[in-house]
Structure 1
Amino acid sequence: MQTNFSDSQRQQVHIREAEKVLRTCVHCGFCNATCPTYQLLGDERDGPRGRIYLMKELLESRDDDERITDETRLHLDRCLTCRNCETTCPSGVEYHKLLDIGRAEIERRAPRSAADKALRFGLRKALVDPSRFKALLSMGQIFRPLVPGALKDKMPAPAPDPGVRPERHDLQRQMLILEGCVQPGLSPNTNAATARVLERLGIGLTPTPQAGCCGAIDFHLSAMEAGRERARRNIDAWLPHLDAGCEAIIQTASGCGAFVKEYVDILANDPEYADKARRVSDATLDLVEVLGQEALDNLSIKAEQRLAFHCPCTLQHAQKLSGAVERVLADLGFELTAVQDPHLCCGSAGTYSITQPQLSKQLRDNKLAALEAGNPEVIVTANIGCQSHLASANRTPVRHWIEIVDAALQ
């Protein structure tokens, strides 16, 4: 794709990065064929190719260009950032990097309404602190009849007791784990189950209470510097343990894992943290990458349930781990049902289910129809956002896949 940036524009880091992405695009349109929002809306501007043109126009234009309006932001907001287009693209366009740049620019050029700003600020404050989120969740569960409709569906029943979580600091092999922001409140059993399964494999989890939110929520709600600052704090919390011999930083939420693996990119221009970020990104593994390297024969599993696996976009398109969980579950003896169009997003996409509830619900219902076609007893996934979003329909039970493995241990 031809670009028309001036020499002065090219002096800016974000313009150089954007131009690099733009020039790889050959505007073939293959991306639109697998874009969930384009499939629903049929509008070129709600597909990757159209959004790329919108962002090109935005970045090349002057600040007073009247073509840059709230409508431009609407089409960028509707993007799920599922990165399905990147998996499809024959030219290797790093669409998500361009989208981050475009969204930051439109925030500067076309400020949001006060109500929209308040919603996004509220989401950032409510979701990134586990104790605050737990308190708000408990209040919401108590006063559920009074909760607004879009949020009421997201309000699950209180989570069951996660049981005993082993802390085996005596084991020679130690790893770190990101506890998460909303996961401790919505599904505390996920990390407890992880600890129990890893203990069977001779791996202990070293606690890192100084580590907090991965930063993805801030970063993708246009508070990018706040997201980078959270990344820096996590790096400072994890590096001493990596230096002391911890093997990896385990992620049980694929959305967090995808973002932590990209610390190396979002801090590339930070001279103090660039090398540190690379070390952390290189040490970060999704849980399935850990189990995939272990001798699973050491786990005595009684696999009796028929499962449908929903592969989160952040696992298959961002981390390129499509099929990895399915292979582990199949090796352990679980029956997996066939799922049509497994590449398509469920509509969760972080806070998308709240900021774009109508599109999100359509995508959720389409995904559930595909997952339930094989009559599974349980739907399993690898990301708390997808888990809670699919479960909000109150149909087939939805769990993290490691919970099913843990429950089947003998």
Structure 2
Amino acid sequence: MQTNLATQYQGTPEGQEAEAILRSCVHCGFCTATCPTYQLLGDELDGPRGRIYLIKQVLEGSPAGPGTQLHLDRCLTCRNCETTCPSGVQYGRLLDIGRAIVERQVPRSATQRAARTLLREVLPRGWIFRPAMKAGQWLRPALPAALRGKVARPAPAGQWPATRHARQMLLLDGCVQPAMAPNINAATARVLDALGIGLVVAPKAGCCGAIRYHLNDQAGGLDDMRRNIDAWWPLVEAGAEAIVMTSSGCGVTVKEYGHLLRHDAAYAARAARISALTLDVSEVLCGLQAELVEKINGPTDAGHAHKVAFHPPCTLQHGQQIRGKVEGLLRAAGVDVRLCADSHLCCGSSGTYSLLQPELSAQLRDRKLAALHATGAGEIVSANIGCQSHLQGGTATPVGHWIELLDRLLAKAVPASTGMSSCQTSMQQV
């Protein structure tokens, strides 16, 4: 696509990157067919190709207006279009550039500013979000239905292994996940402990940076990333093998630290190293599948009693390009895994999207749940806390993380270890 950048963007890092991405687009339209918002709205400007044109116009000097901002806001950033694109257009990166420029040009209403500021300031800070979630759980029966669906039911974390192993990996605790589903990380620690790997949580690591970055506080998001690098680096130097992600939304962001901080002389090299070390938990376990299956005693009748629908998050299948690993692990463990129709499409969660675009998000969730229920499975599992919470808000069918299912199968097959910590919610910290 021929592009003539406006003077103010020529020679800038964002301009150079955007121009390269725009020139790779041949405007074929294949992306439109797999765009969830285009499917709902039928508007070319609510599909990837249309949004690319809007960003191109802004970069070429045309002033952005509220309409431009609205069409960019409606994008889920699911990156399904990247999977579909035959030219390898890095649409997600172009969208971040375009949104930031439009944000500077188009003033938002007081209501929009307040909502976005609240999300940016509360969600990434666990010390604020945790008590807020506890209060919401206590008040849950009295909350309006729309808000009640966003408040996770209280759930115990279970025990964190006290045993230590020669093999050590880091685990990103995250910002909202510990308050909403604390058992996910504890289950991951138990599964890896059974396979001879210890997980370490760096106390000063926090939000991966995605929330602020994708709400156009890119400077704040980059600061979150630098803080995590500082927290992890001594442990990386001490020999940690990998940085394990249990939330695919965090995983796709941390894997992009190297790109996002490439112009920061103080952090570029370390950011690239952190990204290279980052693995989704499914990637870790795929290398240990035979040992895992042996621990579970192979495909058993008990395993086959589990008919589970797996919802692969967009951040896993499109962002990280990881497909089939979770399904393979569960099937090897004897689980009857079902993928729903159109499993490549977004469920509508997409970080803060379900809060900022509730109508579109609810339509996408209802479509996804109808397809998941059609599999006949009595349980739904996913790989991202946002997807889990969003789906659970629309169904009575249990929705959890797939690692929790593996943890349950291991617990049935292997007698409970006597080396567990007595503190139900404690974590191994360094």
1:365 aligns with: 366
Distance across 1 between alignment mates of 2:184 and 2:168: 18
Partner in structure 1 of residue 139 of structure 2: 143
Runs of 4+ displaced beyond 6 Å: none
> How far off is 1:132 after superposition?
1.6
Structure 2 portions without partners, runs of 5+: 414-430
Residues 217, 6 of structure 1: CA spacing in aligned structure 2 closer, same or farther, 3 A cutoff? closer
Aligned to 1:122, the other structure's residue is in SS state helix
Please say if 1:167 is aligned against 2:125: no
Aligned partner of residue 309 in structure 2, secondary structure: strand
> Could you tell me which residue of structure 1 aligns to residue 395 of structure 2?
394
Distance in structure 2 (CA, Å) of the matches to 1:348 and 1:267: 27
SS at 1:55's partner residue?
helix
Q: TM-score, normalised by structure 2?
A: 0.92
Quote the sequence identity (%): 56
* Structure 1: stretches of 5+ with no match in the other structure: none
Give the structure-1-normalised TM-score.
0.96
The aligned amino acid for 1:286 is D
Q: AA paired with 1:269?
A: H
Select the residue among 46, 49, 70 that pairs with 2:66: 70
Task: Please list the CA deviations of residues 103-128 of structure 1 after superposition, one character each: whole Å capped at 9, or x if unmatched.
Answer: 00000000211211110110122211
Match of residue 96, structure 2, among 100, 113, 124: 100
Residue 57 of structure 1: aligned partner? 57
SS for the counterpart of 2:296 is: coil
1:278 counterpart SS class: helix
Counterpart contact for 2:308–2:380, Cα < 8 Å:
yes
- Are the equivalent residues in 2 in contact too, given 1:150–1:357 (CA < 8 A)? no
Q: Distance in 1 between matches of 2:153 and 2:370?
A: 23
C-alpha distance in 2 between matches for 1:206 and 1:140: 30
Q: CA deviation at 1:242?
A: 1.1
1:82–1:313 contact (8 Å) kept in structure 2: yes
Are 1:291 and 2:285 an aligned pair?
yes
The answer to whether the Cα contact below 8 Å between 1:190 and 1:403 also exists between their aligned partners in 2 is yes
Note if contact 2:184-2:246 (Cα within 8 Å) is conserved in structure 1: yes
Check whether the contact 1:151–1:354 (CA below 8 A) recurs between aligned residues.
Answer: no
Counterparts of 2:369 and 2:115 in 1: how far apart (Å)? 28
Cα deviation digits, residues 159-205 of structure 1 (max 9, x gap) = 2x22211133x311000000011111111110111111101100001
Query: Which whole-Å CA distance do the structure 1 matches of 2:162 and 2:117 have between them?
Result: 36
Q: Show CA shifts across 1:226-268 (max 9, x none).
A: 0000100100111111111110000000000000000011101
Q: Is contact 1:201–1:298 with CA below 8 Å preserved after alignment? A: no
Matched, 1:19 2:23: no
Q: What is the alpha-carbon distance in structure 2 between the residues aligned to residue 138 and residue 6 of structure 1?
A: 49
The alpha carbon displacement at 1:146 in A equals 5.4
The 3 A distance-change label for structure 1 pair 324 and 2 is same
> Is 1:242 aligned to residue 236 of structure 2?
yes
Amino acid at match of 2:355: I
- Aligned 1:201-212 pairs, distance under 5 A: 201-212=195-206
Output the amino acid matched with 2:101. Answer: E
Alignment partners' CA distance in 2, 1:314 and 1:204: 26
Give, in angstroms, the shift of residue 395 of structure 1.
Answer: 2.5
Indicate yes or no: 2:274 matched with 1:280.
Answer: yes
CA contact (8 A) 1:128 1:181 kept: yes
The 8 Å contact of residues 293 and 332 in structure 2, kept in 1 or not, is answered as: no
Q: Counterparts of 1:150 and 1:338 in 2: how far apart (Å)? A: 28
Q: How does 1:212-227 map to 2 (within 5 A)?
A: 212-227=206-221
Which one-letter code corresponds to 1:259 in the other structure?
A: T
Equivalent-residue separation in structure 2 for 1:8 and 1:380 (angstroms) = 47
- Is the Cα contact below 8 Å between 2:311 and 2:339 reproduced in 1? no
